[in-house]
Amino acid sequence: MWSWEVRGNDGLGATGVTDDQGRAEQRLGDALQAAPAGTTGSVHRIGLHPAKPQYEYGRPVATAEVTEAGVRWL
């Protein structure tokens, strides 16, 4: 599974989960296009922890930020 998360300057933002990395990146890009400059976002692979009833989040596989010129993928 893949999680995408947008973080605005106020610490708030949109999030979502999907079973497709490309779809997660598309959703992140769509959300960032509607966000003000300074907003950031990322996509992480997630899975179930092998021994605990919780999810594990991996390192970001895609990150982006909103600049005055638009969305910039890092």
* pLDDT tens per residue across span 36-58: 999 999 999 999 999 999 999 99
* pLDDT tens per residue across span 15-40: 999 999 999 999 999 999 999 999 99
pTM given for the model: 0.90
pLDDT of residue 11 exceeding 90: no
Residue ranges of domains in the chain:
2-73
- 28 closest CA partner among 38, 9, 13: 13
Distances (CA, A) of 46 to 3, 4, 34, 39, 49: 7, 10, 25, 22, 9
Q: Check residue 50 and give its pLDDT.
A: 92
Binning pLDDT at 50, 70 and 90, where does residue 69 land?
very high
Distances (CA, A) of 45 to 59, 67, 74: 7, 25, 17
pLDDT of residue 5 exceeding 90: yes
